[in-house]
Structure 1
Amino acid sequence: MAYSQWLSGLHFQQDNLVCVALQKSRSGYALRRWWQLPLARDASEEEQSAALRRIQREMPRFHRVAVALPASDTLQKQLPSPQMALRESERALWVAGTVAKQLEMPIDTLTFDYQSTETNIYSVTAARRRDVAALQKRLHTAGLNVEAITPDASALQSFFTWMAKDEQGLCWQEQHHWLWATRNAWGSGAEPPEGLLRCTTQPHNGPSFNPWFPLTQLQPPLPERGDDFAIALALALGVR
């Protein structure tokens, strides 16, 4: 069953909705389908739902979708580990309460995800609960099986499996905006940090990483604007 499922990444962009569907086999990842639909980021809920339903109609019954949440809509915090030993459920409550207090926001208005680093620091990502809930509702209403909602910049870390270990990270450009990720951090802005590989299919003076490289099977026709699919590909590769 795991090999028969389509693993998909969905990315809302400035003027497009892009989606890519992969299928995992013993030989690697195969491209099964891609979509690039005109859709402004400020499109109405009806327009977004229509685009999502079109994608869903062309998906098989067994599929899992990871969708990008703009990094600009999230907040990141670094927390030292608590001095006392906590069970997992207690730790989650401690992280949520500590971050909500620092942000001076009610805890029930935020949703959290966190991971522990090698230095016993908790890397916490927070997003407004209403934003995540609204996105989940649109996807579920369209009939899509949502596996994960992931900050778009952090999705780039899925490519690190196919990169040399001494590479610091990746950056990807959408119009005049950059997303970037290293092995310990991620973010967005007008300029990426220095020393990162550029995630692109286009000729480039400096070092680069082709986001289609991890796929072992490609089925033409392929999209003319292959760079547009970088985040969607990263999301799909991150579905386990």
Structure 2
Amino acid sequence: MMFATWQIGLDIQHESIRAVAVQRQRQGWQLRHWWELPLPEGTFRDGLLIDAETFTNVLLDWRKELPVRHQLRVSFPTQRTLQRPIPAPDKRLAEPASDAYIASATARQLQMTPAQLCWDYLASQDVAEPHLIIAARQMDVAALIKSLAAVQLYPATLTPGASALPALMAPCHLGKCEYLVHREGNHWLWASTETTPRWGWADTHAVPTIIDWCQQFKTEPEKVALSFARPEPLPTGFLQLDAWSALSRFQPPLPRHGGIFTVAIGLAIGRVSR
């Protein structure tokens, strides 16, 4: 039965792994479980996996708690990815030739070889509009997938954490805002609410406050939905990004501060392309 499968969002940050498991029911999304797994300092650095053995050891016991039927959606460090437009290929090209064109065009923009890249794209609806390319270094992606496979974890998706935020817009009733923003300890994750969302990452050393972020993106507080991984009061004028409001049934106990699971919930309820 399709409803028996747990959809699990696994958000990997430097200091901890956050996971949320949900099931789709007639009434909406049902929470099955949540976990926060602390990571020793030095396991990741600047989004790169440094200590694979420690990482897999942390995941080992957690893996034993999962049911046989589950679908895993894993975050990839947003700061290790790029989102770039490239001209759409000629529609007369067959799929292999079209893919080869996209890979070559992306590699040229990033001054890398196609073999060094892992990429995907959002196709434009209009031939005059560019495709939106999402790219990361092949070696970074391979290292993470290898470590997950070592404990028999096989992601259905591996996606930049910020790109999971738009999945929260409709179920959290945030249709009137322009941006979804999530604050981690030393960075901001953000996504636009456009039909083809833009998303990204900003270091808090360069952008210290949410007001600074709004000034950089030329937007107003009332157009921004905001969440925090650590307990902080919501600044005046901003909308609350409460990812838990996307769920309709809960399995207590719940975490003291739910904001730490914002990205994990977005991953768990997001669509998976087939």
TM-score bin, normalised by smaller chain? over 0.9
1:220 maps onto 2:252 in alignment: yes
Shift of 1:111: 0.8
Shift of 1:85: 2.4
- The aligned counterpart of 1:232 is 264
Secondary structure class of the residue paired with 1:85: coil
Answer whether contact 1:64 1:239 (CA < 8 A) is retained.
no
Match for residue 179 of structure 1 among 181, 189, 201: 189
Distance 2:7 2:78 in 1: 22
Shift of 1:67: 0.6
- The aligned counterpart of 1:197 is 225
Shift of 1:199: 2.8
| Of 4-13 and 36-45, the range deviating more from structure 2 | 36-45
- The aligned counterpart of 1:53 is 60
Shift of 1:116: 1.9
Answer whether contact 2:7 2:268 (CA < 8 A) is retained.
yes
Shift of 1:167: 2.0
1:100 maps onto 2:107 in alignment: yes
Residue 225 of structure 2 aligns to which amino acid in structure 1? Answer: L
Answer whether contact 1:21 1:31 (CA < 8 A) is retained.
yes
Distance 2:20 2:175 in 1: 27
More strand by percentage: 1
Shift of 1:202: 6.1
Answer whether contact 1:7 1:239 (CA < 8 A) is retained.
no
Specify every segment of 5 or more residues in structure 2 that has no aligned partner in the other structure, as ranges.
Answer: 44-50, 208-212
Answer whether contact 1:160 1:169 (CA < 8 A) is retained.
no
- The aligned counterpart of 2:157 is 148
1:65 maps onto 2:72 in alignment: yes
Answer whether contact 1:8 1:21 (CA < 8 A) is retained.
yes
Distance 1:19 1:94 in 2: 37
> What's the RMSD between the two structures over aligned residues?
1.8
- TM-score normalised to structure 1 length: 0.93
Shift of 1:89: 2.8
The size of the alignment, in residue pairs, is 240
Residue 186 of structure 1 aligns to which amino acid in structure 2? Answer: W
1:126 maps onto 2:158 in alignment: no
- The aligned counterpart of 1:7 is 7
Query: Percent same amino acid among aligned pairs?
Result: 33
Shift of 1:101: 1.4
Shift of 1:84: 5.3
- The aligned counterpart of 2:38 is 38
- The aligned counterpart of 1:208 is 240
1:188 maps onto 2:201 in alignment: yes
Residue 188 of structure 1 aligns to which amino acid in structure 2? Answer: W
Shift of 1:118: 4.3
Q: Deviations over 1:129-173 (max 9, x none)?
A: 111111111112211231100001111011122234332120000
- The aligned counterpart of 1:116 is 123
- TM-score normalised to structure 2 length: 0.82
Answer whether contact 2:174 2:225 (CA < 8 A) is retained.
no
